[in-house]
Amino acid sequence: MDYLGKIVIVTGSGQGIGNCIATAYARKKASVIIAEIDEEAGLETKAAIESFGGDCLFIPTDVGSEASVKEMINRAVKRYGKIDILINNAAITTYSEHDTLFTRSIETFEHVMRVNVIGAYMCAKYCACHMPEGSSIVNILSTRAFMSEPHTEPYSASKGALAALTHSLANSLAHKVRVNAISPGWIDNSGWKKKKDRKFTTLAEKDHLQHLTGRVGKPEDIANAVLYLTSEAAGFITGANLVIDGGMTVKMIYAE
Burial of 140 (0-12, 13-18, 19+ CB in 10 A): buried
Q: Distance between CA atoms of 59 and 80, rounded to whole angstroms?
A: 13
Q: What is the distance, to the nearest Å, from the Cα of residue 100 to the centroid of all Cα atoms in its chain? A: 25
User: Exactly one of 25, 121, 155, 228 is catalytic; which is it?
Assistant: 155
Determine the angle formed by the axes of helices 16-27 and 39-51, rounding to 10 degrees.
30
Burial code (b: 16+ CB inside 10 Å, e: under 16) for 122-136 equals bbbbbbbebbeeebb
The CA distance from 99 to 19, in Å, is 27
Q: Is 155 a catalytic residue?
A: yes
Query: Where in the sequence numbering do the catalytic residues fall?
Result: 155
